[in-house]
Amino acid sequence: MNFVFNLFSPKDKKFQPAFEKCAKNLVKISETLVLALQTKDAAEQKSLLKEIGKLEQIGDDIAHSIFLELSRNFITPFDREDIHSLISSLDDIADYIYAAALNIELYKIKEICVEVVQLAELLLEMCKDLDIAIIELGVSNNSKIIADVCSRINKGEGRADYLCNSAIARLFQLETDAIELIKLKEVLQTLEMASDKCDDAANVLESILIKNA
């Protein structure tokens, strides 16, 4: 079976560069979240959480530019629906990470539970994998790398579900402050939704592989 996969020709100077910028911005926003959760300095954490908001806006701008290109170009490197679905999923990841960061700042959570940090670290791994896959769209003739990345992301989403559910179960057992429980539960579920969107992006990539095999 021929696994030749070459979606983006060298002439494509619009969509592929924009997708790569979006993926790299996701890596940066997820890295910033991990740093914000790891620091013990309140001022540094506040600065990092604010930086996440700026990065989320950058992601919105990139997504908007791709949607504009879709409206202006009749010929696209692959199905227009897949382009729209992929960039929407990538943008949603940034939105949910920003929502979690905003809640952490606004709720003034007393103590971040370990599962929140673990979820953020897992999201960073998933975003790095998405970055690898999207780069491969433009430079590789072998679909195996992208398929392997999509498989890792799918497994990561399962791990995120487990982390979120087990953390919430533990909070209901041990947390005596109902308000803190609600705050942490919302942050956990928001980060888990970000992992769902990573999986959505991977599913779109797998769909592109199938259509172009």
Q: Which residue has the higher pLDDT, 7 or 200?
A: 200
- Calpha distance 77→138 (Å, rounded): 10
Confidence of residue 87 (pLDDT cuts 50, 70, 90): very high
Residue 8: what pLDDT? 46
Element (H, E) at 177: none
Residue 205: what pLDDT? 92
Residue 144: what pLDDT? 87
| Residue 3, in any domain of the structure | no
pLDDT at 141 over 60: no
What domain range includes position 89?
15-211
Residue 82: what pLDDT? 87
Closest CA to 105 of 177, 189, 183: 183
| Residue 109, in any domain of the structure | yes
- Calpha distance 187→192 (Å, rounded): 9
Confidence of residue 213 (pLDDT cuts 50, 70, 90): low
Percent of the chain with pLDDT over 90: 69
| Residue 48, in any domain of the structure | yes
Closest CA to 150 of 82, 92, 208, 64: 208
| Residue 1, in any domain of the structure | no
Residue 3: what pLDDT? 39
Q: What phi and psi, each to the nearest 5 degrees, are found at residue 144?
A: -60, -40
- Beta-carbon contacts of 2 under 8 Å, excluding residues fewer than 6 positions away, are 213
Q: Is the four-CA dihedral 123, 126, 132, 138 of positive or negative sign?
A: negative
Tell me the chain's radius of gyration from C-alpha atoms: 18
Confidence of residue 79 (pLDDT cuts 50, 70, 90): confident
DSSP symbol at 142: B
- Beta-carbon contacts of 147 under 8 Å, excluding residues fewer than 6 positions away, are 206, 209
pLDDT digit string, tens, across residues 119-139:
999 999 999 999 999 998 877
- Calpha distance 57→31 (Å, rounded): 16
C-alpha distances in Å from residue 37, one per residue of 52, 80, 109, 181:
12, 38, 11, 18
Please give the single-letter amino acid code of residue 60: D
Residue 15: what pLDDT? 82
Is 116 in contact with 188 (CB distance < 8 Å)?
Answer: yes
Confidence of residue 140 (pLDDT cuts 50, 70, 90): low
pLDDT at 66 over 70: yes
| Residue 6, in any domain of the structure | no
| Residue 4, in any domain of the structure | no
Q: Give the chain's domain count.
A: 1
Segment 90-118 mean pLDDT: 94
Q: Which CATH number does the domain housing residue 195 bear?
A: 1.20.58.220
How high does pLDDT run on average in the chain? 89
C-alpha distances in Å from residue 111, one per residue of 90, 127, 174:
29, 26, 14
